[in-house]
Chains A and B, each alone.
Chain A
Amino acid sequence: MMTGYRPLLWPGGLALLSTLGLAAVALGALLHAAPELSMAAVWDSYTLRVLRFTVIQALLSTALSLAFALPVARAFARRTSFPGRTFLLRVMGLPLVLPVIVAVFGIAAIWGQNGAISNAMEASGLPGLSPLYGLSGILIAHVFFNMPLAVRLLLGAWQTIPGESWRLAGQLGMGPWAIFRLIELPRLIAVIPGVAMLVFLLCFTSFAVVLALGGGPRNTTLEVAIYQALRLDFDIARAVGLALVQVAACAVMAVIFFRFAKTPESQATEERLIARPDTDHLPGRVIDTLALVTGSLWVLGPLIAIVIAGLSGPVIDVLSRREVWAAALRSVSVGVGAGLLALVLGIALLATTRDLAVRAGRTRLADRMELAGSLTLVISPIVLGAGLFVLLLPLVPVFDWALPLAALVNGIVAVPYVLRILAPTLRRTAEHHDRLCASLGLRGWARIRHLEWPASRRGIATAWALASALATGDLTAIALFGTQRDATLSLMLYRALGSYRMDEAAVLALLLVGLCLVVFVVIEGGIGGRNRT
């Protein structure tokens, strides 16, 4: 720490100004449009019903996801080496990057009226499943996405249990139940509220799942209601009112969330891996096997269904259509553009927060700035988009600007991912090498070339690739701004699903997954380089 050190404030300041500024402008535009409506007109039975359904489905989704995730995560934690463990953990990461609308297709192929399970039941003389639409469909889809997410987060909590605890437990002869109660449960109680809040928040603001599976006004969430008011009913006043309700609800949840969301500090003092003493217990083995098999099938089923249905669909017919490739190109340009925007904003913010944290000793200010950069997590893309929509509608032909607007909204929403991926690397680089750089006179371009870039290029590649892949499969922003003329692949898939053109949808779904994968692999491999450390 140097006395009188002047931190580099402008990059992070500009980045925060653009993300928060845009969010503020969007909210301002909504509020500006609001005087024309009285709150009483918005706060009617319709809004109440929508709010009630939003909360109920989010609560149920959270409870189911966590109840499913706990045994699966515990099985992963207890079984640290079985064939396929690494593969299954990767599978648990897939739903996070799978385009939502593609996942919906895969889930319908398993759980739908004509899905694999229903067909199997009918073949064996049982009545088939009813259509997937409505609350049950939404819940299945939300658990598909959030159970694996919760598994990964909970597993992180398990891994913070110091190895010495296991050695101690073994020495004291603690049984599986005592281990769970005395070692694991306290750790879990510390993280479960945070995980639950995150899942709740994600389900509360879930858009594409509800749009695709929530048939009719009875099964509509706030997000979808905002979209419907803007795009289907052209009722801007109602959209504004709903958006304000949404923002208020999210703000309340954000406050609660940041209260609970404490990253558990690791108390591991020995680097060595110490085996748990409770892995040979027979009932435990049965439970763990059951949890792992069910959890894997739950996630893998729809993924496999997407591949099989896609390959057995009218591949050549769909792939020979020019508009499909034009849509694919639009998806990729939105994706790559959004990724680049998120990357630039994220790195600019981190340049400042790192300087503050490492060199100026202002760690708390730095952490708060990074948190502010992640606030867009609670101002959902649909609210951000709705604000821009209301703002720009009288000024420019909004629908001609669909792609840049979609890239803009997706880019801002992806900034938190960039922060999470790059912050540790950038801070560590400064902590380890600042003094050496100072004594060698390594600064400016030379420092970037010889230190920063080699140290962070993999992180940069991963962040850009992830942000781009997510935006490539986005349906939220493009549903708001897009038209028939400039549909992306995800919008095209949504329309095919909506009009029950399932064969076509199957091919489009597989194509979209492939596209996201290509975007990810090309960016990560091209920027990150091969075999570099």
Chain B
Amino acid sequence: MDVTGLELSGVRFGYGDWQVTYDLAVPSGSFAALLGASGAGKSTLLSLVAGFERPTAGAIGVQGKDVTNLAPAERPVTTLFQEHNLFPHLTALQNIGLGIDPSLRLTSTQKSDISAALERVGLAGMEARLPRELSGGERQRVAIARSLVRQRPLLLLDEPFAALGPALRRDMLDLVNALRRDTGMTVVMVSHDPADARRVADCTAFLHDGGIADFGPTASLLDNPDVPALAEYLGV
């Protein structure tokens, strides 16, 4: 793995007293988890990568390309949020279609691409459903299908499965992991549960005290925490 899927070098951000600095390199095609107490800046890191926040210093690269000054829509990045991933008044097909063309003018090829994406996430034939006619898990599957048709090499998971039950959450993580293997995209997820990280993440970053306190292969990081704060966080 010679290309970095996501690289943050000297990225600074903050409001007033609260300041963070990120240095991180996630190998292309891997699945990375971000662990840390609430307020450690996990979601902020994703917001900076997605372009919803702009860093005060430093550079962000995706697949070797500098994206620091690009608008969110121009970045090769898709984010899955905890909620409001779908527009409530649009059908599954339209919601996915917006990922291809924001003015929703779709060719028949694009429509069959959408159907194929729905099939891949296990929602075959649900093109005409409105979000309220879908379960919580199914809504997030539609959002995953949209990230598939967008074909962006980096997928950010901002706790999209937090509201789902443990079994369903594991299913969703496995689904994302399988899609990652098929497409070769890089996935970065915010997580509260080390077990989730163990299940799917090749590598894990531990955020603490305004920066990334530790980063490495998930198993060794969690089995032998050499940073005291991480040991305390894990309760070992």
Contact = CB atoms under 8 A, between A and B. Distances in A.
Contacts of A2: 52-54
Interface stretch (A78-86, A195-203, A336-344, A440-448): A440-448
Interface string A502-533: 00000000000000000000000000000011
Interface of A is mostly: helix
B52 A435 contact: yes
Given A2-B53, A2-B54, A436-B81, A442 B88 contact: no
A450 interface: yes
B104 interface: yes
Contacts of A441: 71-74, 102
Contacts of A455: 87-89
B52 A450 contact: no
Nearest to A447: B102
B102 A436 contact: no
A3 interface: yes
Contacts of A445: 103
Contacts of B78: 439
Interface residues on A, range: 20 to 34
A454 B132 contact: no
Interface in A388-442: 432-433, 435-436, 438-442
Interface string B60-75: 0000000000011110
A4 to B, nearest CB: 8
Given A435-B52, A435-B79, A455-B89, A442 B102 contact: yes
Contact of B89 (A3, A435, A443, A532): A532
- Which of B53, B56, B83, B102 has most A Cβ within 10 Å? B102
Given A442-B98, A454-B89, A455-B89, A436 B84 contact: yes
B222 interface: no
Contact of A440 (B53, B84, B98): B98
B4 interface: no
A161 interface: no
A439 B79 contact: yes
A433 B131 CA distance: 14
B84 A438 contact: no
Task: Name which of A438, A439, A442 has the most chain B CB atoms within 10 A of its CB.
Answer: A439
A248 B71 CA distance: 51
B158 to A, nearest CB: 9
Contacts of B53: 2
17 contacts: A432-B83, A433-B84, A435-B50, A435-B52, A436-B87, A439-B73, A439-B78, A440-B102, A443-B102, A445-B103, A450-B87, A450-B90, A450-B94, A450-B104, A451-B87, A454-B89, A455-B87
Interface of B: 50-54, 56, 71-74, 77-79, 81, 83-85, 87-90, 94, 98-99, 102-104, 132
Given A440-B98, A442-B102, A450-B104, 18 more contacts: A2-B52, A432-B83, A435-B52, A435-B79, A435-B81, A436-B84, A436-B87, A438-B51, A438-B52, A438-B72, A440-B102, A442-B98, A450-B87, A450-B102, A451-B87, A454-B90, A455-B89, A533-B89
Enumerate the 8 nearest inter-chain pairs by beta-carbon distance, A residue then B residue, closest first.
Answer: A441-B73, A438-B72, A454-B89, A432-B84, A446-B103, A442-B102, A439-B72, A446-B102
